[in-house]
Structures are given as structure tokens and as C-alpha cells.
Amino acid sequence: MSGTERRGVSMEADFVVVGSGSAGSALAARLSEDGRHSVIVLEHGGTDAGPFIQMPAALSYPMNMSRYDWGFLSEPEPRLNNRRLVVPRGKVIGGSSSINGMVYVRGHARDYDHWADQGAAGWSYADVLPYFKRMETWHDGGHGGDPDWRGRSGPLHVTRGPRENPLFHAFVEAGLQAGYERTDDYNGEKQEGFGPMEQTVWKGRRWSAANAYLKPAMKRSNLKLHRCLARRIVIEDGRATGVEVERGGEIQVIRARREVVLAASSINSPKMLMLSGIGPGAQLAAHGIEVKADRPGVGANLMDHLEVYVQQACTQPITLYKHWNLFGKAWSGAQWLLFKTGLGASNQFESAAFVRSRAGVDYPDVQFHFLPIAVRYDGQAAAEGHGFQAHVGPMRAQSRGEITLRSADPSEAPKIVFNYMSEEQDWIDFRRCIRMTREIFAQPAFDPFRGKEIQPGAAVQSDDEIDAFIAEHAESAYHPCGTCRMGRADDPTAVVDPECRVIGVEGLRVADSSIFPRVTNGNTNAPSILVGEKAADMILGRPPLPAENVEPWINPRWQVSDR
């Protein structure tokens, strides 16, 4: 680094956290909690104030706004008709928790046991359950559930929508009629089944990681937030000593006396490691980057959830489509602005299901989000008018992608290749998802409401026709993860050890969804916050919370039946 670039080595703290998202906010709040350590949080994005982010029903807006989103695009996906898919990542206080769908899913207990089996010692479900309980305040809304498995005093409020629309109940009833299980709390003992969906919404507002953790913590004198572009980690004699940032056109170094923690997302964390010389050696050398630690796993193991929307026309004018006009939106908006109530106060995902795709699968690998309107994620309503839809897709796809650098320029977006549908089993599972959804929509519970199938459409029946529909219409569920995989310190493909320490560099950790050994069964916001919570104890050298050895419900028929 030249002398001119070194001007502005003005700030330092015990811990420098890169990213104020789901994990970063939780981490910064816990690291600064006892007042003994100074923390600087680096965030490229700005404020989360305003109705587009804070109003739950407006969720389709912030993820389509360049002000709040990094604007990443995948490379053309060869098995999805060479479409480039949007990859929204939050560029705002609260990160992706400020632009996501606010769906709260811990994942299945077996997901975490699998992590431990893959070398992430200390991350089994028995180990992580106490942290899930520590982070949440659970409001069951009188719908039943598993209080022994849930938290009552954490910063993250978890609620349930009112489920006033009869279609929410029709969906659950149809699942039972099709022979599936009911669950009153998929975040408790029994994930498998149909039941109410949970959301990070509190008193009618989006309860992001920023609202839950970071903003209360920013009242402390030992925590500071700086807006800047983090360019690379400064590594001296094998140790991370700070972060090089760009602020107001000037390059500065923010120094870390103890540790640098990357919590910059599954896209930006591997990018920053590679820009700092940590990653696949030959690739970095090709970009003229000095190799500090040759870790081939950096950027590899990219996973996501892919989904389609199965849409059905509704014969009764009861769907959200009746509010999908200027007057309806204005009325809902006014109600929300004045009272934080009404349609604006929910993400409208109020019923859900987790099921198994076939006999021989021991825990759910398919998720449904049900919505009482036929609409796209970018907020475009289906032209047909009244309708309802289920978002559905396999939870444990076998396809893997990668994140690589385009150049050594920190301002350039990385190259994102998901390799969706590159494994034959993923096609088999996806076809099954669509056929299961049709079977559920065909149940008697939907008889009073069911019109024609809007999408895929009644003509789409054969494997080839369904495959063509998937290739043209499948969308990301926006759960990318796994690009800095956690594993044993002697595992050449792992990037961090079970303490979140980057293997081969001192004083540097990664704590966000990029460390997941495998994507969890469901939405990834809750597991990302979990990582921030658990990593904070590790960084501070605290003993982990005592393990809770509870057994999740596993379907006794799993070997012989899918339900």
C-alpha cells in the first residue's frame, strides 16, 4: 500500500465487523453488550427509514430498489434457458434482513446434525437450540405450538399473521385431506406438516436484525457504525490487522486490535477474502493478487433454493387482488402509516408446509409458502385477476455453484454461477413438487374457490412439459449460502473452522450464511442470525450455552411413505 493510500489510519477498535446484516447486527450487538470491547461496524448501504422497508406488505419494493440492493445478477444459467437471475442482497442497515420476505424458519434439527457430521463440531441441533431460544421472543398468537422449544426474552420478535383470509385455512385443510401431517409450530418439535407461518414482524413493522439488534446497540458509546465500501482485509505477517475502506473518494484503513469479522453475505464475504489474497491460489494469481492463504473452498459450494409459483384462479373475489389497485394500495398504506395495522402489517405469507418428497427421505425436503394472490416477486399481479399461489421447490438440491472474481477491482461485482438444475435428481424432485402442489389444490377444501390453473396451466402434464416450465419460470428463493464453508481445520475444502476462524490466517473470522456447510430446510434469515449469536460467544471466549438434547419429531412412516 502506498504512502498516499495510508492517510486516514484514523480509526481503530477491538473488533471490526464488515456488514450490518442478519449476522453482523447480532454479532455487533453481542460483542459490544458488556461495554468492555469497542466495535466498529462497516456498512456500504444507508438508512432503513421509510415505508418501503418498514411496511411488511411492501416487501417486493426494497429488493427491487438499487438504493437498498447490491443489484447482483447471476451469469446465464444454461439449464434455465440461459436466463440471468436476480440475486438481491441488502445494501442497507440490516442487510438482507431489511429487504427479505420476513419469513422465519429455523430449519430442521437434522440440518444442524448434518453440519456437525460434516466437521462443524459444536453446531449440532442440541448446540444451536439454546441460541435460537436466546435470540427470539416468540408470540404464538394463541395458535398453539411448542413453548419449551421457543425463546421468550430475545431481541428478535417472531409473530404469526392473523390468517383472516379463508384461503389460508383451505391450504392447511387441503394438506390434511391429501394425507399430510399438521404442525402447530414448524420451528418447534415437529417441522413436518401444514400450519401457520411465522414472520419477523412486530407491532406491524418489519423486525429486521437492525431493529432487533443494531439500533439498540448503537446507543452504546463503544459501538460505531461507518458507511464505506470495504475493499479488502489488511493482512500483516499472516494476521488480519484491519480493513481497507473507501470513504468519500479516499482510501483509509480501519484497524482491528483483536479481530476482523466478515459478515458481508454469501456473495461479498468470499469476494472480500479473494481480494485479500485468501482463496484458490491459481485464480487469485491470475488476477495479480498476492496469495496469502491458498484455500480452494473460498467461493465454492454455492447453494440456493430454487422455486416455482403454482398459480390457480379463484372463483370468489376474496383474494388480495381486490386491493391491487391505486385506491386499495393507498387505503392499506394509510392504515399502516397511521395505525401499523391492516393488510400492510403482514408479509401475507401466513400458511406454510414442510413435507417429504418421497418415501425413504427421513425429514422434510420440500417447502411451501402459500399466498392468497397470484403475483410475481417483483410485485406484478397476474393478469387473470383473483387467484392464489404456492411457492414450492426442493430444499436440498444437489447442484452446486461458485463465486469467482471478475478482476482485482473491489468495486466490480463478482461472477455468480449457481449451476441450477445441473443434477438429474433436482429435476426429479422439482417435477414431484409441482405434481404435489396440484394434488393439494385439487382437494375438497379448495372446491369453493378453485378456478382454472393459471400456471403452469392444465396443458403442462408430461415430464418434458414440466421441465420446460421449470426452465422458463423457476426463480431463486434468495437463499444463497455455503461459499465459505465451515469444517474441520484439516479439511482442504473448508474455509473456516468450527469457531468461524479463517483457516490459515490469524485474527480473521467469517460469520454469516456463507459458512453454512449445507443450506438449511427453509428460509435462511434465522440461521444467519444464529451464526452471529453463536460466533459472538466464540470470539469473546465465552463457554457455549449448555446443549439441549431434545429429539425432533420424525415421521414413523418415513421409510414407506411420503406422508
Write out the catalytic residue numbers. Answer: 479
**85 labelled binding-site residue:** no
Cα distance between residue 277 and residue 263, in whole Å = 18
H/E element, 466: helix 463-473
Is 16 marked as a binding-site residue? yes
Please check if 34 is assigned to a binding site: yes
Sign of the alpha-carbon dihedral angle for 450, 452, 456, 461: positive
Decide if 519 contacts 338 (C-beta within 8 A): no
| Residue 193 annotated as binding site | no
Q: Say if residue 487 carries a ligand binding annotation.
A: no
Of the candidates 338, 321, 344, the one whose C-alpha atom is nearest the C-alpha of residue 52 is 344
Q: Is 475 annotated as a binding residue?
A: no
Is residue 48 marked as binding? no
Angle made by CA atoms 267, 268, 271, in degrees to the nearest 5: 95
31 is in an annotated binding site: yes
Residue 282, classed as helix, strand or coil, is helix
Residue 262 marked ligand-binding:
no
Provide the pairing of β-strand 39-43 with 11-18: parallel
Strand segments (E) across 456-553: 475-476, 508-510
Was 29 annotated as part of a binding site? yes
Residue 20 labelled as part of a binding site: yes
Phi, then psi, of 224 in degrees rounded to 5:
-125, 145
* 313 known ligand binder: no
Which residues, including other chains, have CB under 8 Å from residue 479's CB and lie 6 or more apart? 303, 304, 305, 513, 519, 523, 524
Tell whether residue 121 is among the known ligand binding residues: no
C-alpha to C-alpha distances, 347 to 107, 441, 487, nearest whole angstrom: 20, 22, 35
375 is known to lie in a ligand binding site: no
φ, ψ of residue 503 to 5 degrees: the values are: -75, 125
Among all chains, which residue has been given the C-alpha cell 453446531? Answer: 123
Q: Which of 533, 434, 526, 430 is nearest to 101 (CA)?
A: 526
> Bridge partners of 475?
307
CB burial class (10 A; 0-12, 13-18, 19+) of residue 219?
A: exposed
Tell me: is residue 35 an annotated ligand-binding position: yes
Q: Confirm or deny that 350 is annotated as ligand binding.
A: no
17 is in an annotated binding site: yes
Q: Is 351 annotated as a binding residue?
A: no
Query: Residues near 328 by Cβ (< 8 Å), separated by ≥ 6?
Result: 322
- Annotated ligand binding at 10? The verdict is no
* 390 annotated as a binding-site residue: no
User: DSSP letter at 496?
Assistant: B
Cβ-proximal residues to 63 (8 Å cutoff; 6+ apart), any chain: 69, 88, 99, 100, 377, 478
The reply to whether 21 sits in an annotated binding site is: yes
Closest among 439, 448, 443 to 318, alpha carbons compared: 448
- Classified as helix, coil or strand, 2 is coil
Annotated binding residue at 293? no
Residue 30, marked binder: yes
d(CA 104, CA 197): 8
Is 2 labelled a binding residue? no
Separation of alpha carbons 487 and 322, rounded Å: 50
547: number of Cβ within 10 Å: 14
| Amino acid at position 143, single letter | H
33 is in an annotated binding site: yes
Which parts are annotated binding residues?
A: 14-43, 92, 100-103
Which parts are annotated binding residues for FAD?
A: 14-43, 92, 100-103
